[in-house]
Amino acid sequence: MPEDKWSRWLNEERWGDQAGPFQAALNSVRDRILGLAELKPGATVVDLGAGTGLLGLQAARQAKREGTVVLVDVSRDSLASAQSDANVGCERFAVGDALHLPLISGWADAVVIRSVLIYIPDRLAAAHEIARVLRPGGRFVAYEPINRRMEQIVDMTGFEDVRDAYQAAMDKNTLTNFAEDDLVEAFRGAGFTSVEIVEDDSRFPVRGKEWAHGFRYGAPAGYNAFDMLLTARISPERADEFLGHGERLLGDEWRVWRCPCVYLIAVR
């Protein structure tokens, strides 16, 4: 049976042939999230949108056998991959989504996520559900890219139609329809006692082919920039033409592509 789109993207599509540098960057984000979560041995932790276990498996090493770390994801295939790498003994796995967590109220010391709120249309509802499962004083820590402010590194002269279509599509795609203030508002609205953000930026080493790959596979099908153009009625042929233009323009010279991001820390 073929993998679902989430697992296929996580395991095969998102990095192209640059898995090493991108995995190192993800590990750095992981360590910062878990540091902000202030996990201790014996902690009860939820890795929401766990995917293949980037956060949850490392959280288990910090919570140790006396703790419990529940990895929750909509993708059974991704959870199966994470489960095969579990080696502490405190890991648990559950299929679920951010609006319907399969956990009792007030159970968790911490909920951690990486790039999950960007896929959720109703972020206030998600914030309420996260608040429900946290104990009083529990911590929520998230990393989220602010994709609507990602810098454009390709000259779009001659592709103004593509530029305009992308701009029009941004407000309809959950990956690009919010800014950091929207996240703060959602978690304050859900009753968290304190909400703060730390602004940063994510940096990606790219040449032409990495840029083109990121444009097409930087998010799963239906969310990525290429599909955003299609929903804005740019033809596949015209979108391919733009990708070829950008790849040739950037060529083989390495440069850094930046995207603003935030770490959000909310206390129940």
Q: Could you tell me the residue ranges of all domains in the chain?
A: 5-267
Helix %, strand %, coil % of the chain (to 5): 45, 25, 30
Terminal-to-terminal C-alpha distance of the chain: 41
pLDDT at 188: 98
pLDDT at 151: 87
Q: Which residue has the tokens 């940063």?
A: 200
1: exposed, middle or buried (C-beta count within 10 Å: 0-12, 13-18, 19+)? exposed
With CA atoms as reference, report the closest residue to 220 among 2, 77, 4, 9: 9
DSSP 3: P
The tokens of 261 are what? 């991001």
Pick the CATH number of 5-267 from 1.10.540.10, 3.40.50.150, 1.10.8.640, 3.30.465.10: 3.40.50.150
- pLDDT (tens digit, 0 to 9) for every residue of the chain, 268 residues total? 457 888 888 888 887 777 777 788 889 999 999 999 999 999 999 999 999 999 999 999 999 999 999 999 999 999 999 999 999 999 999 999 999 999 999 999 999 999 999 999 999 999 999 999 999 999 999 999 999 999 889 999 999 999 999 999 999 999 999 999 999 999 999 999 999 999 999 988 889 999 999 999 999 999 999 999 999 999 999 999 999 999 999 999 999 989 999 999 999 9
Q: What count of other Cβ atoms lies within 10 Å of the Cβ of residue 208? A: 20
The residues with which 268 forms a beta bridge, in sequence order, are none
pLDDT at 2: 57
pTM above 0.85? yes
d(CA 44, CA 63): 7
d(CA 249, CA 161): 18
User: What is the CA 220 to chain-centroid distance, rounded?
Assistant: 11
